[in-house]
Amino acid sequence: MESTLKEQIPAGGVEDVYGEDCATEDQCITPWTIAVSSGYNLLRDPRYNKGLAFSERERDAHYLRGLLPPVVSTQELQEKKLMQSIRQYDLPLHKYVAMMELEERNERLFYKLLIDNVEELLPIVYTPTVGEACQKYGSLFKRPQGLYISLKEKGRILEVLKNWPERSIQVIVVTDGERILGLGDLGCQGMGIPVGKLALYTALGGVRPSACLPITIDVGTNNEKLLNDEFYIGLRQNRATGQEYYDFLHEFMSAVKQNYGEKILIQFEDFANHNAFELLAKYRTTHLVFNDDIQGTASVVLAGLIASLKLLGGALCDHTFLFLGAGEAGTGIAELIALEISKKTNTPVEETRRKIWLVDSKGLIVSGRKGTLQAFKKPWAHEHEPVNNLLDAVKAVKPSVLIGTSGVGRTFTKEVVEAMASMNERPLIMALSNPTSQAECTAEEAYTWSEGRAVFASGSPFPSFEYNEKLYFPGQANNCYIFPGFGFGLVMSGTIRVHDDMLLAASEALAAQVTDEHYAKGMIYPPFADIRKISAHIAARVAAKAYELGVATRLPRPADLVKYAESCMYTPNYRSYR
Catalytically active residues, by annotation: 126, 197
Closest CA to 522 of 445, 466, 440, 481: 466
Paired sense of beta strands 356-360 and 363-364, if any? antiparallel
3-state class (DSSP) for residue 456: strand
Closest CA to 402 of 437, 369, 450: 450
The CA-atom distances, in angstroms, between 160 and each of 150, 153, 157, 215 are: 10, 8, 5, 11
Q: For the residues of 109-155, what is the DSSP string, one character each? A: HHHHHHHHTHHHHHHHHSTTHHHHHHHTHHHH--S--SEEEEGGGTT
Q: Helix 483-493 crosses helix 531-549 at what angle (to 10 degrees)?
A: 50
Phi, psi of 497 (to 5 degrees): -145, 145
HEC assignment per residue over 561-577: HHHHHHHHCCCCCCCEE
Dmax over CA atoms of the chain, in Å, equals 80
3-state class (DSSP) for residue 543: helix
Q: State the CB neighbour count (10 A cutoff) for residue 464.
A: 11
Rg (CA), the chain: 24
Phi, psi of 274 (to 5 degrees): -65, -20
Closest CA to 561 of 545, 541, 546: 541
In this structure, are residues 187 and 177 in contact, taking their beta carbons and an 8 Å threshold? yes
3-state class (DSSP) for residue 218: strand
Measure CA 547 to chain center: 24
Sign of the torsion angle spanned by Cα atoms 40, 41, 43, 44: positive
Rounded-to-integer distance, Cα 276 and Cα 379, Å: 17
Q: Enumerate residues 6+ apart whose C-beta is below 8 A from 360.
A: 325, 326, 377
Q: State the CB neighbour count (10 A cutoff) for residue 389.
A: 12
How big is the chain, counted in residues? 578
Q: For the residues of 142-203, what is the DSSP string, one character each? A: -S--SEEEEGGGTT-HHHHHHTSS-----EEEEE-SSS-TTS---GGGGGHHHHHHHHHHHH
Rounded-to-integer distance, Cα 52 and Cα 71, Å: 7
